[in-house]
Structure formats: C-alpha cells, structure tokens
Amino acid sequence: MPEPSPSPDARGKFLLPVVGLLVLALLVGAGATMWLGGSLADGPAVGGSFSLLDGDGKRVTDRDLRGKYALVYFGYTFCPDVCPTTLNQVSEALDRLGTKAGQVRPVFITIDPARDTPAVMKQYVSAFTPRLLPLTGSDAEIADVARKFRVYYAPHRTGDQPGDYTMDHSSVLYLMGPEGKFLAPLRADAPARELAENLSKQLK
C-alpha cells in the first residue's frame, strides 16, 4: 500500500486563497505600472502639438519651440487689463533674469483669432518686449491648442455690433521645458520679482 499522502482537499483549501491573493497582488501591481507607464507615454497632460501663425503669418509648430524653455500665455490683444498687465510682468521678469533670460522664449497665444490677425498680434507684442512670440491661427487651431493647454475662454457680449465683445479667459503662465514637456504653471498675477524667482528656480 502506498503511504497516505496529505489529503489533496485539505492542501487545496489552504493554498488556493494564498495563490489567489498573490495573483491578485501581481495583477494590481502590473495594472498600476501599466497605468503609470501609459499615462507617461501618452505625453504631457498639458500642452502638445500645435501649428499656428506668427506675427508675419509664418507657420510655427511646437517643434519650433524646442531647445529653449517656453513661457506660454493665452490671452487677447483687446484685453483691457489682465493680459497687458501679465505681459508687462513677463517682460520685466525676463529683464530681471539677466543672461538666464536667453534660455526662455515667452509666447503669447491669442484666444480671439477673429480680431487678432498676425499683423495685429505683431503690432501688439512689440509694445512689451521683442522677445515675445505672438501666435494666432484659425478658430479650429486655436480651439485645439487651448484644449491641449486646458485653457478656458468664451466671448462675453458687450453690445450689438459684431466687435462688441470681450473674452473671458483663464490666466496661467505655462512653463514648458526645452523638450516641449510641461514643467510647471506659474502665477500670472505674481509681481515681476516673484515671477523672476519662480522662473529662475525652474531653469537649469
């Protein structure tokens, strides 16, 4: 007679839950890793590819901005207060950065392309700093880039004429790395000195 082996039933009752837990732990671990890897591989949650027009009507894409940090702001030239104030702070902050400012390209993207043609944009940014790159495009191109940067904007009627409107819009400075990856949001309402300090910390 063969020796009696431990009852397979008893062993199964002990092992199955343990094996089950191990498999579950492995699946959860693998899932979390895949999820993290996937979201990183999908690219930045803020920013992405775009193709817009500069002040001369020339095409500029996100790839053209590579190699330098980009400080991106969305607004419009008819903005009565927030946009001009922000752009003033940006140009003053860059002045304060001294030679480091050469690493940063400030970019102003309109969310009012109907009025902000390349020529209007070019004229407008020249009042702030020659470093500032103005970008506009079709309604669809602007909607696309705004969505990628999570920018909110909407027209606000002020009268009966077609041009009687202002634009509500979110106001954030987006610092993008030299590879085009989103690095940090910077407060658009910060004084120039604070903005310069925040910027300086981010630059290599």
Q: Which positions touch Ni ion (CB under 5 A)?
A: 75, 79, 82-83
C-beta closer to Ni ion: residue 53 or 167: 167
Cα torsion 43, 45, 47, 51: sign: positive
Would you say 50 or 74 has its CB closer to Ni ion?
A: 74
Smallest distance from Ni ion to CB 110, Å: 10
Pairwise CA distance, residues 170 & 79, whole Å: 12
Nearer Cβ to Ni ion (53/79) = 79
Reduced to 3 states (helix: H, G, I; strand: E, B; else coil), residue 67 is coil
146 is written with which tokens? 């705004």
Nearer to Ni ion (CB atom), residue 82 or residue 143: 82
Give the residue at shortest CB distance from Ni ion: 79
Answer positive or negative: Cα dihedral of 159, 162, 163, 167.
Answer: positive
Rounded to whole angstroms, the Cα distance separating 111 from 67 reads 25
Shortest reach from residue 98's CB to Ni ion, in Å: 28
CB-CB contact of 94 with 131 (8 Å): yes
- Closer CB to Ni ion, residue 101 or residue 124? 124
Picking from 193, 168, 203, the residue whose alpha carbon sits closest to that of residue 82 is 168
Amino acid letter, residue 105: R
- Distance of closest approach, residue 147 Cβ to Ni ion, in angstroms: 18
